[in-house]
Amino acid sequence: MEKQVFIETYSRERWGTDSLKWDGVKERYGKAGLLPVWVADMDFAVPESVQEALTKRVQAGIFGYSLVPADYVASYQGWQNRHFGTQFQAEWLVFSTGVVQALYDLIECFTNLGDSVLVQSPVYYPFYEGINNKKRNLVVSPLQKTAGGYQMDLANFKAQIIEKKVKLFILCSPHNPVGRVWTEEELAAVLAICQQQDVLVVSDEIHSDFIAPGKQFVSALSVAENLENLIVCNAPSKTFNMATLLNAHIWIPSEKRRATFAQWSQQQRATEYSSLGQLAAMVAYCTGDEWFAALKQVIWDNANYLEERFKEELPLAEVAELQGTYLLWVNLGNYQIADLPHFMESAGLAVDYGSWFAPESEQYIRINLATTPERIIQVADRLVEAIQKLPKAGI
């Protein structure tokens, strides 16, 4: 499918649809009408095959208790085989309503009050919220920003684990917001440390399908020498833009840990899961390749456009290399903007602020690229105009 055909077929106007991304702007930012490029939610409809399958199910008019489709895991594994080749086993799969909910549940199940849980900052802010809300001890090992991009600080990582007696590490792979796709060597090193120190690794791989050309995603499942201390979370929600269909995966290779989680769930998380979400995912995994290839072309072209505009017109902006995700991490610190939220409001933009991901990233913004090229042009125009209006003393 050609890029323009995809845009014409699947782009949607979302004002007035109860969209968090669009209609929730005033509540989130205090002002209506800002152009939203914040929360990781796309402005494109799901594949037509998914719409057709859901329509057929809805027209049947019955939404009672359901079984997991018999071909669900085979459909998912087929998608993996065609894309990255990561091998999953059906018995590992536990469903959740979302990856964030899964993280909350895994923290509560596998750690105790006051236990230490480690993340690598700057990182997706619900990681912090989950750890703090579950009253665990938040431990942060900052990523190192180098001339070659963000790197894991393995010495600090290991020292933090030993000093703080870390019980669980949440790995973000690919990393949100810095856009790194970790190499096999990097993953092997960090997993080896966790294995040596008996730390449970929960790898959030929800963005694993969004890998830039020339890069290769490697799942922690493909690297870990011992799967007893590894759990992987992912979902179709980012890949196919179906977050509110409430369908996510927790892959638990360890039979012992699966039993522990099952027992915990009986006491704390007895719930039905989304039959519509499972149906949508299964159909998307079977039929969504062409749709997804076109979507990725839109995203990478949007990223290249912004990078070129910034290079030409905002040369002091530092754009992190986008290796994975559809979220561009941009440092505006060289422009010495005193009040970034006020500045963005004046520019008419609703972005994710770097301070949400780490206090030291307060001059950064995260831009959602999963929208039409026309909107990305508007983002660039507004940002360039606003920065060019800054007093020269502020540059």
pLDDT digits (tens, 9 = 90+) for 53-104: 999 999 999 999 999 999 999 999 999 999 999 999 999 999 999 999 999 9
Determine the average pLDDT of the residues in 13-19: 96
Q: Is the pLDDT of residue 395 over 80?
A: no
Determine the average pLDDT of the residues in 189-212: 98
- Cβ-proximal residues to 60 (8 Å cutoff; 6+ apart), any chain: none
Q: pLDDT for 298-349, tens place per residue?
A: 999 999 999 999 999 999 999 999 999 999 999 999 999 999 999 999 999 9
> What pairs with residue 140 in β-bridges?
119
Q: Which of 47-61, 171-185, 379-393 has the lowest mean pLDDT?
A: 379-393
- Can you tell me the distance from the alpha carbon of 254 to that of 272, in angstroms, rounded to the nearest whole number? 23
The rounded mean pLDDT for the chain is 97
pLDDT-based confidence at residue 175 (cuts at 50, 70, 90): very high
Find the angle CA(337)-CA(334)-CA(319) to the nearest 5 degrees. 110
pLDDT at residue 378, as a whole number: 98
Determine the average pLDDT of the residues in 136-154: 96
pLDDT at residue 270, as a whole number: 83
Q: Is the pLDDT of residue 392 over 80?
A: no
How many other CB atoms are there within 10 angstroms of residue 145's CB atom? Answer: 16
pLDDT at residue 269, as a whole number: 87
392 versus 7: the higher-pLDDT residue is 7
- Can you tell me the distance from the alpha carbon of 154 to that of 146, in angstroms, rounded to the nearest whole number? 14
pLDDT at residue 393, as a whole number: 41
pLDDT-based confidence at residue 23 (cuts at 50, 70, 90): very high
pLDDT at residue 267, as a whole number: 94
- Cβ-proximal residues to 212 (8 Å cutoff; 6+ apart), any chain: 181, 300, 303, 322, 323, 324
Asked whether 218 and 174 are in contact (CB, 8 A), the reply is: no
Domain ranges (residues) in the chain: 3-47+289-389, 66-287
Q: pLDDT for 227-285, tens place per residue?
A: 999 999 999 999 999 999 999 999 999 999 999 999 999 999 888 999 999 999 999 99
Asked whether 87 and 243 are in contact (CB, 8 A), the reply is: no
User: Is-cis flag, bond preceding 36, omega within 30?
Assistant: no
Asked whether 168 and 115 are in contact (CB, 8 A), the reply is: yes
CATH number given to 3-47+289-389: 3.90.1150.10
- Can you tell me the distance from the alpha carbon of 216 to that of 149, in angstroms, rounded to the nearest whole number? 16
Q: How much of the chain exceeds pLDDT 70, in percent?
A: 99
Q: Is the pLDDT of residue 394 over 50?
A: no
Which CATH number applies to 66-287: 3.40.50.300, 3.40.640.10, 3.40.50.1820, 3.10.20.30? 3.40.640.10
Q: Is the pLDDT of residue 119 over 70?
A: yes
The dihedrals phi and psi of 234, each to the nearest 5 degrees, come to: -155, 180
pTM: 0.96
As given in the structure block, the two tokens for residue 378 are 């508007």
